[in-house]
Amino acid sequence: MRTGDLLALRPAGLYCEAGDFYIDPIHAVPRALITHAHADHARPGHEAVLATDDTLAVMAIRYGAAFAGETQAIGYGENLRIADADVCFYPAGHVLGSAQILVQDAGSRIVVSGDFKREADPTCAPFEPIACDTFVSEATFGLPIFRHSHSRNEIAKLVASLRLFPERTHLVGAYAFGKAQRLIALLRQAGHDRPIYIHGALEKLTEYYASRGIALGNVRKVTGATDLAGEIVLCPPSSTNDLWSRKFAEPLVAFASGWMRVRARARQSGIELPLVVSDHADWDGLCATAVETGCSELLVTHGEADALVHYAQTRGIAAEPLHFTGYGDDEATPAETAA
Amino acid sequence: MNRFAQLLDRLQREPSRLGKLRLMTDYFRSAPDPDRGFGLAALTGALSFRYAKPGLVKALIATRVDPVLFDLSYDFVGDLSETVALLWPAGAAEEEDALPLSTVVRALSDTGKIDLPRVLAELLDGLDETGRWALLKLITGAMRIGASARLAKQAVAKLGGKGIDEIEDLWHGLALPYIGLFAWLEGREPRPITDDPAPFCPAMLAHALEEEELTDLPPAEFFAEWKWDGIRVQAVVGEKSGKVVRLFSRTGEDISAAFPDLVDMLASLPCRTVSIDGELLIRRDGRVQSFSVLQQRLNRKRVCAALLADYPAHIRAYDLLSLDGEDLRALPFFERRRGLEAFVACADTARLDLSPSIDFKSWDFLAAARRDPLAAGVGPDAAAIEGVMLKRCDSAYVPGRPKGLWYKWKRDPFTIDAVLMYAQRGHGKRSSFYSDYTFGVWHQTAEGEALVAVGKAYFGFTDEELGKLDHYVRNHTSNRFGPVREIAHGKEEGLVLEIAFDGVNRSSRHKSGVAMRFPRINRIRWDKPVREADRLEALDALLRE
């Protein structure tokens, strides 16, 4: 890493010596800045955590109120000095509360994207490209085969399937935080006004989204032995094939993820209705973002880094994969989450 | 094209066999002639084009996508058609089946070499992703949609309420686009007549025996013979203004050209016509050679005199399907066997002999023979035995793999504990997961005790285990060489895999000097320390046996 002065890669994650903090560390550390509340980026047990208020709230829901020694909320665009480093959080468009973190000192500006996407999302603030010298990007879908910024078409597929198979329960696997609520919001935008049913694991987070004024309509928790024929039921990916799913009427298993673009992925997971919806930037989004930040150096934390690095190099940007292995669970398919 | 593309897409997503059958039968019922005939050809692997080949597809995409990005994408997707379909610049969606499958197939088969790249590009531009994928599948051949040729034939048979055997019997005499076949199945015309003088009869295959099944099988009702480790063939002699001789593989592929020595022998047999089911072996100095010797003949492109002299081919006969115009397949096995014995006895050639029977009174006796063929008196050919076959004495010769008639009882596999060294992404069903594993065992080298790679395995595990292995590979990558990941391995770290395999051959291509046959992952030994994995000497010992 050329930016060794301001940020360095340590076993726990990206570390800023000037401010003595980590960004999204995968082990407990004295001070952590958290981009967003997905479990692979936001781990419990840090002594001090700085994050947006939504990220802190979601971490408290998932880990309990005592998830960190102390917490501090920061708003988008608010500047904060930590020892010898200046930091500022900007919307990343990934999930509610998600942020890119700008770290700067007198010499350089580095933006750590965490996870991000460029497609509009009714459940979170849109991504803003931030000018910087070094952009630290994700690359979960860093291959030109991944193009998934047409969620509206995918939602239309789901609604059409409901019409075609009114006798079957449409069981949609979706990550519990972010993806599930976004699907509900997208269904509402598409005019689907029937009640939407959710697995118990999604309840608290969905309630939190509603409490933040996001229009989710009539959402009900699945209870009792009702078979919910012709209804949409959202559940965590790992529940689509387990015992819980058997009470429904001939469940038609759908799964929402960027991986669904590749047939074998859908087949390996036994998915009947693949929905190509992702909370990560697709190939075009990743490439455009690297260019729009005007960075002269691109570092890729995780995902399919090699192609993005190659692309950046052809555009005259120095680029390097970090091969960091702790991230990237939030799009996992049912086969992977079972593992 | 739309309709056929939708069929392929739904087939690859449909998990159940019955569901796949229904999808295909519906397609054959609703698609018009000649489209459905081309669809049937595509599903049975009967389509092939002179110039439209995978290489052309690769050349076309190379002019549209950065080659580095293409390679990375192909490595991830693991399927050429799908990679190109996903990468191809998006075109307009096709109007409701505006481009008939037959038009596409004719364009691919009739266009000359010069014009084909342009014609193919135009076709791809006019299709959506699913359409492009399906079209490219026609060219790359391997469908990988989980529907075998046999299942497609079964779906066709259902269209006319026929059995699959009736289709199989006709199949090798039919021509594209099967207008007569569909007319017969729909009751509009009589059964098509084929005039092939030396037709292939679909082979009868055996089920793998589960040992606990033996308790329900009376030994007296079964015939036993050795399972020879060569390639299963059907040798057919027919008549049409002279003798017509053909040698077919188990799947009906004509392999006569590679075996002129056998064709000469067959032409000299004392009969007008005959059809023999048997095993193709190499027999040198009165002794059947192991499969690895046979492979050296199979792998040659050109058949020269030296090859014929060094690797003399031989047929060991299992069954007699027809003789002098009479179809014997409906007879009970023991009657066909009697006919076969008589026929081989008067055939005056060293290149054809009878597969000897194993006399046994009890399953225990047979089990002992299977464990140790040499002790059971098989003589010098023991190296070419891979188990025993059980055939019900009254079994007719039924194409396919009918239940309860024939069993194969293979020798128990060998196992070793090896260490995972490298991983690569798989193809087809396993694509995009790290599912091809190179493993090694301990060996004393000049630099001290080290792991040497001895083989590669890419199946044997469940989907759940694949998920875990993939996860392990990602989290323990110590180096990358293009698509290959090196997995951390040494005395203190690494993952032990129990590998099952059917045998060991000497190999000059592998650094270790050995090559395993049919290696697969038997168990993942998450619990086993790496230093306790096996040593190369364990494989060397097998080689000496």
CB nearest A264 (choices: B15, B78, B470): B78
**Of the candidates B121, B140, B159, which is a domain's last residue?**
B159
Looking at the structure, tell me whether residues B454 and B395 fall in a common domain: no
Chain B neighbors of A261, CB-CB under 8 A: 86
The answer to whether B474 and B432 are in contact (CB under 8 A) is: no
* Mean model confidence pLDDT for chain B: 91
Mean pLDDT of B205-232: 94
Looking at the structure, tell me whether residues B365 and B420 fall in a common domain: no
Q: Does any domain span residue B173?
A: no
Catalytic residue among B20, B227, B243, B391: B227
One-letter amino acid for residue B165 of the chain: D
Please indicate whether, in this complex, the C-beta atoms of B66 and A310 are within 8 angstroms of each other. Answer: yes
**Cis omega (within 30 of 0) on the bond before A25?**
no
- Contact B68/A at CB under 8 A: yes
Chain A neighbors of B12, CB-CB under 8 A: 263, 267
pLDDT band per the 50, 70, 90 thresholds, residue B481: confident
Please indicate whether, in this complex, the C-beta atoms of B477 and A323 are within 8 angstroms of each other. Answer: yes
Task: Kindly state the greatest CA–CA separation across chain A.
Answer: 64
- Contact B434/A at CB under 8 A: no
Output the domain CATH number for residue B458: 2.40.50.140
CB nearest B77 (choices: A145, A267, A268): A145
Mean pLDDT of B115-133: 93
pLDDT exceeds cutoff 90 at B459: no
pLDDT exceeds cutoff 60 at A334: no
Looking at the structure, tell me whether residues B402 and B445 fall in a common domain: no
Chain B neighbors of A325, CB-CB under 8 A: 474-475, 477
Residue B228 to residue B242: CA distance in whole angstroms: 33
**The pLDDT of residue A339:** 31
Backbone φ, ψ for residue B391 (5° rounding)? -130, 130
Please indicate whether, in this complex, the C-beta atoms of B76 and A325 are within 8 angstroms of each other. Answer: no
Q: CA B530, B532, B537 angle in degrees (round to 5)?
A: 110
pLDDT exceeds cutoff 50 at B317: yes
Looking at the structure, tell me whether residues B426 and B348 fall in a common domain: no
Chain A neighbors of B146, CB-CB under 8 A: 267
Output the domain CATH number for residue B117: 1.10.3260.10
Residue B424 to residue B484: CA distance in whole angstroms: 5
**Of the candidates B120, B138, B159, which is a domain's last residue?**
B159
pLDDT exceeds cutoff 70 at B362: yes
Looking at the structure, tell me whether residues B535 and B473 fall in a common domain: yes
Please indicate whether, in this complex, the C-beta atoms of A304 and B471 are within 8 angstroms of each other. Answer: no
Q: Does any domain span residue B174?
A: no
Residues 6+ apart with CB under 8 A from B112: B51
Please indicate whether, in this complex, the C-beta atoms of A144 and B65 are within 8 angstroms of each other. Answer: yes
One-letter amino acid for residue B489 of the chain: H
For B8, the closest chain A residue by CA position comes to: A263
Please indicate whether, in this complex, the C-beta atoms of B433 and A143 are within 8 angstroms of each other. Answer: no
Q: Does any domain span residue B178?
A: no
pLDDT band per the 50, 70, 90 thresholds, residue B48: confident
**The pLDDT of residue B296:** 82
Q: Does any domain span residue B183?
A: no
Give the range of the structural domain holding residue B467, as residue numbers without chain letter: 414-544
pLDDT exceeds cutoff 60 at B464: yes
> Among B440, B414, B382, B383, which Cα is nearest to B518's?
B414
For B16, the closest chain A residue by CA position comes to: A270
Residue B133 to residue B543: CA distance in whole angstroms: 46
Please indicate whether, in this complex, the C-beta atoms of B72 and A304 are within 8 angstroms of each other. Answer: yes
Q: Does any domain span residue B529?
A: yes
**Of the candidates B410, B433, B468, which is a domain's last residue?**
B410
The answer to whether B279 and B316 are in contact (CB under 8 A) is: yes
Task: Kindly state the greatest CA–CA separation across chain B.
Answer: 77
Mean pLDDT of B171-182: 90
For the stretch B71-84, pLDDT in tens is 999 999 989 999 99
Q: How many domains does chain B divide into? A: 3
pLDDT exceeds cutoff 70 at B315: yes
Q: Does any domain span residue B82?
A: yes
Compute the nearest-CA separation of A178 from chain B (Å): 24
Residue B135 to residue B127: CA distance in whole angstroms: 9
For B77, the closest chain A residue by CA position comes to: A262
Mean pLDDT of A140-169: 92
Looking at the structure, tell me whether residues B299 and B397 fall in a common domain: yes
Chain A neighbors of B486, CB-CB under 8 A: none
What ipTM, to 2 d.p.? 0.92
Distances from the Cα of B122 to the Cα of A201, B104, B132, angstroms: 49, 11, 11
The answer to whether B126 and B94 are in contact (CB under 8 A) is: yes
Tokens of B84: 């190109």
The answer to whether A110 and A134 are in contact (CB under 8 A) is: yes
Please indicate whether, in this complex, the C-beta atoms of B467 and A338 are within 8 angstroms of each other. Answer: yes
Q: Does any domain span residue B201?
A: no
- In terms of average pLDDT, the best of B38-52, B330-344, B493-507 is B330-344
Residue A253 to residue B10: CA distance in whole angstroms: 14
Instruction: Give catalytic status of residue B528 as yes or no.
Output: no
Looking at the structure, tell me whether residues B235 and B374 fall in a common domain: yes
One-letter amino acid for residue A38 of the chain: H
For the stretch A51-100, pLDDT in tens is 999 999 999 999 999 999 999 999 999 999 999 999 999 999 999 999 99
Chain A neighbors of B467, CB-CB under 8 A: 335-336, 338-339
Domain parsing of chain A, residue ranges: 8-145+279-331, 151-275
Instruction: Please state at what angle helix B101-110 crosses helix B116-125, rounded to 10 degrees.
Output: 160
**The pLDDT of residue B91:** 64
* Mean model confidence pLDDT for chain A: 92
- Among A141, A240, A259, A263, which would you mutate to test the B interface (most chain B Cβ atoms within 10 Å of its Cβ)? A263
Q: Does any domain span residue B421?
A: yes
Looking at the structure, tell me whether residues B365 and B288 fall in a common domain: yes
Pairing mode, strands B274-284 and B231-239: antiparallel
Please indicate whether, in this complex, the C-beta atoms of A144 and B430 are within 8 angstroms of each other. Answer: no
Q: What is A8-145+279-331's CATH number? A: 3.60.15.10
Looking at the structure, tell me whether residues B451 and B522 fall in a common domain: yes
CA atoms within 13 A on the CB side of A61: 20
pLDDT exceeds cutoff 90 at A143: yes
Q: CA B238, B232, B155 angle in degrees (round to 5)?
A: 80
Q: What is A151-275's CATH number? A: 3.40.50.10890
Looking at the structure, tell me whether residues B118 and B227 fall in a common domain: no
